[in-house]
Chain A
Amino acid sequence: GAGVSQSPSNKVTEKGKDVELRCDPISGHTALYWYRQRLGQGLEFLIYFQGNSAPDKSGLPSDRFSAERTGESVSTLTIQRTQQEDSAVYLCASSEKSGYPTDTQYFGPGTRLTVL
């Protein structure tokens, strides 16, 4: 079946512009996760959705970052007034249940964001 998809695969933008990253989880998966991965670094957790609700948004790096999910399906991560330090690969994952520790997270290929 179809896996997690993300779009765009690559995004180059100018400093100060807004960007929107999209994630399409596996159909029927209740939980959805966003991570950031800077070049050569590990995964940095950003936010988790249980259905359409994000119980804790404190992982978002700043108030320029926001995320939403609708219809327990598509999620968008929006970065306003992008800065060069926002350059990274943004990974999305989904899991079948609502974030229970035993859930396997299935990752998408990521969106590579470059801020000039």
Chain B
Amino acid sequence: LAKTTQPISMDSYEGQEVNITCSHNNIATNDYITWYQQFPSQGPRFIIQGYKTKVTNEVASLFIPADRKSSTLSLPRVSLSDTAVYYCLVGPYNFNKFYFGSGTKLNVKP
């Protein structure tokens, strides 16, 4: 199964770009990489998804190198409201189990 590893926490300041990396060394050919954001006392919500190279939407960018063994979520110009836990999810090996990473707690300071 494609387990993932992320930093436990990160600190940043308002206006900075934040990059959070997720390692998934045994990613399978059919696996996609998805990132979710979770605020306190809420369920996670979808941010971005990709398979290879780069994906960008109105919220973030996702960079995936050619070997796909890692991925980097990039948040441009963060604000205090981006303080949350960010989870990396890699598409399940057998479609019947779903593993989120341990999550990275991002703390944005003024």
How would residues 69 to 92 of chain B score, 1 for a CB under 8 Å from any chain A CB and 0 otherwise?
A: 000000000000000010100011
The contact of B31 among A48, A59, A91, A101, by CB within 8 Å, is: A101
- A56 in the interface, Cβ–Cβ < 8 Å? yes
Q: Is the CB of B49 within 8 A of A102?
A: yes
The contact of A42 among B34, B87, B91, B95, by CB within 8 Å, is: B87
Q: Is the CB of B97 within 8 A of A56?
A: yes
Q: Is the CB of B43 within 8 A of A33?
A: no
Q: Is the CB of A101 within 8 A of B44?
A: no
Give the Cβ gap from B59 to chain A, nearest Cβ, in Å: 13
Q: Is the CB of B43 within 8 A of A91?
A: yes
How would residues 16 to 56 of chain B score, 1 for a CB under 8 Å from any chain A CB and 0 otherwise?
A: 00000000000000111010100001111110010000000
Residues of B close to A58: CB separation below 8 A: 97
Interface secondary structure of A, over-half rule: loop
Residues of B close to A56: CB separation below 8 A: 94, 96-97
Q: Is the CB of B95 within 8 A of A100?
A: yes
Q: Is the CB of B100 within 8 A of A45?
A: yes
The contact of B101 among A35, A42, A48, A109, by CB within 8 Å, is: A42
Residues of chain A having any CB pair with chain B under 8 Å: 4, 33, 35, 41-43, 45, 48, 55-56, 58-59, 91, 93, 99-102, 104-110
